[in-house]
Amino acid sequence: MKAILIICDGMADRPVKELSWKTPLEAAYKPSLNQIAKTGICGIMDLIAPGIPPGSDSATLALLGYDALKVYSGRGAFEAVGSGVQVLPGDVAFRCNFATANEKLVVLDRRAGRIENEDADKLAQSLQKIKLKTPSVKFLFKNTIQHRAVLVIRGPKLSTAVSDSDPQKTGEKVLEIKPLNTSFEAKYTAKILNELAHQFHTVLKDHSVNKQRVKRKLLPANIILCRGAGTIPKIKPLSELYGVKAACIAATSLIRGVCEASGMKLINVKGATGTPQTDFLALAKATNQVLRTFDFVLLHVKATDVASHDRNIKQKVEMIEKVDNMVGRILNNIDLNSVYLAITADHTTSLATGNHEGDPVPIAITGPYVRRDDVERFDERCCAKGGLNRIRGMDLMPTLMNLLGKTKKFGA
């Protein structure tokens, strides 16, 4: 017995006026998703708790069966791990942006004109040469895609209790990093980060790459904005918890980081970009193939969330239909006598607000021994009538593992 869990980022929604008050899932043509609902057991799920908008990281932690409220330790470390940067226990990691600021350190563009990888590569190499005044602390700065980067600091007595330098808005000044409590560790970490921020700026502002960018009428990447201080959570790997060999197919480094932290094997799929242009067919093929050698495969699709954040109604419906097509291909190539397939979203993203919302998401599980209910369509409202009723995100993994005979008995 094996299981596939398909997580469509931000796919759930509220009723949309422009869709005659249907949700995008209700409006989309999605025979394969409906097939899962029709042959399976359905429900709704609060990733963290009713009304609490989850992040994609905390939601994925929950979906893997962990108590996110207890173990979640910030986004930065997941982002770093998912980008291939090693994060050790005690390290503090941040998500960073190359950005553009003026002489008064007012942010003009949070993405430095979506700087190309080539320029970012060169700048990151120069930054990595900086020597900190505190020799016991080391840092690692790595650019990932375009303006995105990660920063990891390593050394004794570091803390995640520090604020961001990223003001999250253009037109505002780069923020000084502040300790979030009165401990020595928080103050010490903030001091090191402010020193580093200053040194980053010093190197970047006169860097030849930026001088050439200005000549090419491109925005210079003269500042590094940091946010989301985090450490890797102390969690047992899925292999230890359930005795399963687990793999993750995800393009988004944040999700890859969560999956890596839970001991899953990260699978790279050519053409999987985490954008609406991602190769859905390649994702389907990879899922079917990986299932041959793994017990549990998590497939994460980012495209649905991109459309939601962009408040692009048409595109969100389109993305759901592409997901449906992908799911159809996966379904056609698995044996439902020995495979359970679950589909859900990691959170509701509202087309009306463009934000993550705390409304529950629909969930459907098909496979040989589920107590099939009479729900016929996979959407927020139909699934609310299903046999799973309303569960928490962290209940899903035990529910799936129970069907696989992999949960441990409590009691005798």
Binding site for its own copies (CB under 8 A): 14-15, 21, 23, 44, 48-59, 61, 68-69, 72, 74-75, 228, 254, 350, 352-353, 355-359, 369-373, 380-381, 384-385, 387-392, 395, 397-402, 405, 407-412
> What is the closest distance, in whole angstroms, from the C-beta atom of residue 68 to its own copies in the complex?
7
Closer to its own copies by CB, 100 or 231: give it.
231
> What is the closest distance, in whole angstroms, from the C-beta atom of residue 151 to its own copies in the complex?
16
Closer to its own copies by CB, 92 or 127: give it.
92
> What is the closest distance, in whole angstroms, from the C-beta atom of residue 282 to its own copies in the complex?
28
Contact 13, 21 (CB under 8 A): no
Q: Which of 37, 62, 57 is nearest to 398 (CA)?
A: 62
**DSSP assignment of 328-382, as one string?**
HHHHHTS-TTTEEEEEEESSEE-TTT-SEE-S-EEEEEESTTS---S--S-SHHH
> Tokens standing for 166?
């990223």
Closer to its own copies by CB, 52 or 336: give it.
52
Closer to its own copies by CB, 109 or 357: give it.
357
- Neighbouring-strand partners of residue 151: 94, 141
> What is the closest distance, in whole angstroms, from the C-beta atom of residue 79 to its own copies in the complex?
9
User: How many other C-beta atoms are found inside a 10 Å radius of the C-beta of residue 246?
Assistant: 22
- As a whole number of angstroms, the distance between CA 165 and CA 175 comes to 4
Closer to its own copies by CB, 205 or 377: give it.
377
> Tokens standing for 261?
């932290």
Give the three-class secondary structure for 188. Answer: helix
Give the three-class secondary structure for 190. Answer: helix
Q: How far apart are the first and last CA of the chain?
A: 24
- As a whole number of angstroms, the distance between CA 398 and CA 394 comes to 8
CA Rg, the chain, in Å?
Answer: 22
Phi, psi dihedral angles at 42 (to 5 degrees):
-125, 170
Closer to its own copies by CB, 267 or 400: give it.
400
> What is the closest distance, in whole angstroms, from the C-beta atom of residue 207 to its own copies in the complex?
30
> What is the closest distance, in whole angstroms, from the C-beta atom of residue 291 to its own copies in the complex?
21
> What is the closest distance, in whole angstroms, from the C-beta atom of residue 402 to its own copies in the complex?
4
Closer to its own copies by CB, 292 or 410: give it.
410
